[in-house]
């Protein structure tokens, strides 16, 4: 017997073992707790069962199995799940100017409205950037607004953090030199998902200190167009990032461009010049040539959105996509913010039905 059953108007072929594995009857699945109920032994037996009989009626699929088990499925659910027909928001890759113009700006007071919160999250999913205006420039107010999305992530930098105010972290971010655009926490096993920045205090006579923002997905797209082999190398060759400070020693290996093995879509850029460790990459020559090409693209002016962070305006970046840096500066410059984990951010987007 064939190992597939063709169902629905379009005769979509569905794998039979998978069908049985995903029986949604109350014996196999606990709908109250959203979890499978089946025992190991039942599972091992179910692998070998065949379809005895089946009918399709009223948008349902009824199956009688060779071991006597009976299943009823919603036909559309089966087809959508098997074909991975998900609700999603495709990223739109941007040059610098677009990064400035396209992201949604939501006023702080409107965040209590579900539709406005959805607009903000949609913007982060689409462009990698979301902006909140009319916020009070304090760490407390920033925390309050961030919590509309998810709880801030506790890391070695704290939960809500400030930069420019007696910190004791030994990292160039806390000095006043220029920072080449990068992604943060490339050394964590799961890099932080979102990065929230809010300027609290800036010396009016201070020079520089502009934020530099680049869409990393755009850089990867350009690299792929210009040299598919360089692109492939950066999706395959793993490099290590490392971060050390008293009490902490993080290390994580991975490629610069992470792609989903099934969909082939890019889902993370892991680029940080400062935290790249000395561990030799495999295929070193190929790696360096490809990495140099990535850097050479990063030198192009048209990719940059350059702006001064302002008190009252909170900028949120997808740290798995957007690279951020800054120009060197003089004078007092105090900003704060936090990280949000990608896990929590995506969970929120799902509860708002923006993605599935
Ligand atoms: C954002 N905050 C100032 C808290 C931390 C900075 C972390 C800097 C580190 N080199 C990295 O890129 O991950
Ligand atoms: O000073 C800034 O604007 C950015 C600092 C930075 O890159 C960071 O904290 O990760």
173 lines ligand 2 (CB under 6 A): yes
Nearest to 142 by CA among 345, 326, 341, 335: 335
Is residue 189 over pLDDT 60?
yes
What value does the mean pLDDT of the chain take?
97
211 lines ligand 2 (CB under 6 A): yes
The predicted pLDDT at position 168 comes to 79
Lowest mean pLDDT among 169-178, 205-214, 310-319: 169-178
98 lines ligand 1 (CB under 6 A): no
Mean pLDDT for 53-73 is: 97
Tell me how far apart the alpha carbons of residues 38 and 48 are, in angstroms, rounded to a whole number.
Answer: 15
Q: Name the residue at shortest CA distance from atom 4 of ligand 1.
A: 157
DSSP assigned state of 279: P
Looking at ligand 2, which atom is closest to the CA of residue 184?
Answer: 10
- Least distant ligand from the CA of 183: 1
- Phi, psi dihedral angles at 69 (to 5 degrees): -65, 145
β-partners of residue 245 are 248
Q: Name the residue at shortest CA distance from atom 6 of ligand 2.
A: 173
Tell me how far apart the alpha carbons of residues 223 and 201 are, in angstroms, rounded to a whole number.
Answer: 38
275 lines ligand 2 (CB under 6 A): no
Whole-number Cα distances in Å, 347 to 168, 189, 229, 286, 309: 33, 19, 35, 38, 28
Q: Name the residue at shortest CA distance from atom 9 of ligand 2.
A: 173
Nearest to 257 by CA among 244, 245, 271: 271
Strands 211-215 and 105-107: unpaired
Centroid of ligand 2 to alpha carbon of 319 (angstroms): 12
Strand order in the sheet with 60-65: 51-57, 60-65, 70-74
* Test site for ligand 1: of 184, 188, 323, 325, most ligand atoms within 8 A of the Cβ: 184
The predicted pLDDT at position 342 comes to 98
Q: Of all helices (H) and strands (E), which one includes residue 346?
A: helix 342-351
Exposure of 311 by Cβ count < 10 A (0-12 exposed, 13-18 middle, 19+ buried)? Answer: middle
Number of Cβ within a 10 Å radius of residue 303: 23
305 lines ligand 1 (CB under 6 A): no
Mean pLDDT for 17-32 is: 97
Tell me how far apart the alpha carbons of residues 140 and 159 are, in angstroms, rounded to a whole number.
Answer: 12
Centroid of ligand 2 to alpha carbon of 90 (angstroms): 27
User: Radius of gyration of the chain from Cα atoms?
Assistant: 25
Helices 342-351 and 114-127: crossing angle in degrees, nearest 10, is 130
* Test site for ligand 1: of 152, 154, 157, most ligand atoms within 8 A of the Cβ: 157
The predicted pLDDT at position 170 comes to 87
Is residue 208 over pLDDT 70?
yes
- Is 270 in a helix, a strand, or coil? coil
Tell me how far apart the alpha carbons of residues 236 and 257 are, in angstroms, rounded to a whole number.
Answer: 8
Q: Of all helices (H) and strands (E), which one includes residue 20?
A: helix 16-21
- Least distant ligand from the CA of 191: 1
Is residue 226 over pLDDT 90?
yes
Q: What is the pTM of this model?
A: 0.95
Q: How confident is the model at residue 1 (pLDDT cuts 50, 70, 90)?
A: low
Centroid of ligand 2 to alpha carbon of 184 (angstroms): 9
- Least distant ligand from the CA of 184: 1
The predicted pLDDT at position 281 comes to 97
To the nearest 10°, report the CA torsion of 135, 141, 147, 148: -30
Helices 228-236 and 216-226: crossing angle in degrees, nearest 10, is 130
* Distance of alpha carbon 115 from the chain centroid: 21
Tell me how far apart the alpha carbons of residues 356 and 352 are, in angstroms, rounded to a whole number.
Answer: 10
pLDDT digits (tens, 9 = 90+) for 244-281: 999 999 999 999 999 999 999 999 999 999 999 999 99
275 lines ligand 1 (CB under 6 A): yes
Tell me how far apart the alpha carbons of residues 321 and 324 are, in angstroms, rounded to a whole number.
Answer: 10
Its ipTM equals 0.98
With pLDDT > 90 as the criterion, what percentage of the chain qualifies?
98
- Phi, psi dihedral angles at 251 (to 5 degrees): -150, 140
Centroid of ligand 1 to alpha carbon of 46 (angstroms): 50
Is residue 109 over pLDDT 80?
yes
To the nearest 10°, report the CA torsion of 304, 191, 296, 92: -50
With pLDDT > 70 as the criterion, what percentage of the chain qualifies?
100
pLDDT digits (tens, 9 = 90+) for 125-183: 999 999 999 999 999 999 999 999 999 999 999 999 999 987 779 899 999 999 999 99
The predicted pLDDT at position 167 comes to 74
Mean pLDDT for 220-231 is: 98
- Least distant ligand from the CA of 326: 2
């Amino acid at each position: 017997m064939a190992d597939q059953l063709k169902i629905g108007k379009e005769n979509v072929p569905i794998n039979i073992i998978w069908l049985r594995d995903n029986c949604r009857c109350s014996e196999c699945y606990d709908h109250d707790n959203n979890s499978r109920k089946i025992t190991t032994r039942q599972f091992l037996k179910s692998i070998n069962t065949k379809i005895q009989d089946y009918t399709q009626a009223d948008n349902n699929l009824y199956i009688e199995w060779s071991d006597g088990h009976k299943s009823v499925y919603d036909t559309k659910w089966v087809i959508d799940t098997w074909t991975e027909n998900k609700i999603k928001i495709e990223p739109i890759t941007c040059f610098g100017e677009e990064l400035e113009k396209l992201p949604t700006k939501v006023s702080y007071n409107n965040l209590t409205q579900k539709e406005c919160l959805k607009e903000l999250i949609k913007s982060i999913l689409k462009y990698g950037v979301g902006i909140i205006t009319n916020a009070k420039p304090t760490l407390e107010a920033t925390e309050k607004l961030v919590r509309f999305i998810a709880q801030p992530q506790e890391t070695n930098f704290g939960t809500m953090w400030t930069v420019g105010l007696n910190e004791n972290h030994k990292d160039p971010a806390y000095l006043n030199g220029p920072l080449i655009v990068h992604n943060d926490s490339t050394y964590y096993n799961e890099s932080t998902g979102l990065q929230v920045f809010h300027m609290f205090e800036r010396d009016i006579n201070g020079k520089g200190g502009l934020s530099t923002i680049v869409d990393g997905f755009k850089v990867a797209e350009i690299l792929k167009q210009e040299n598919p082999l360089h692109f492939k190398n950066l999706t395959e060759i793993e490099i290590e990032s490392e971060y050390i400070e008293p009490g902490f020693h993080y290390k994580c290996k991975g490629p610069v461009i992470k792609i989903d093995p099934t969909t082939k879509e890019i889902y993370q850029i892991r680029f940080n010049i400062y935290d790249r460790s000395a561990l030799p990459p495999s295929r070193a020559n190929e790696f360096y040539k490809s990495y140099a090409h990535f850097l050479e693209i990063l030198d192009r002016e048209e990719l940059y959105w350059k702006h001064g962070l302002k008190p009252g305006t909170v900028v949120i970046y997808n740290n798995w996509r957007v690279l951020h840096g800054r120009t060197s500066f003089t004078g007092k410059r105090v900003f704060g913010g936090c990280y949000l984990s990608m896990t929590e951010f995506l969970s929120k987007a799902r509860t708002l039905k923006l993605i599935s």
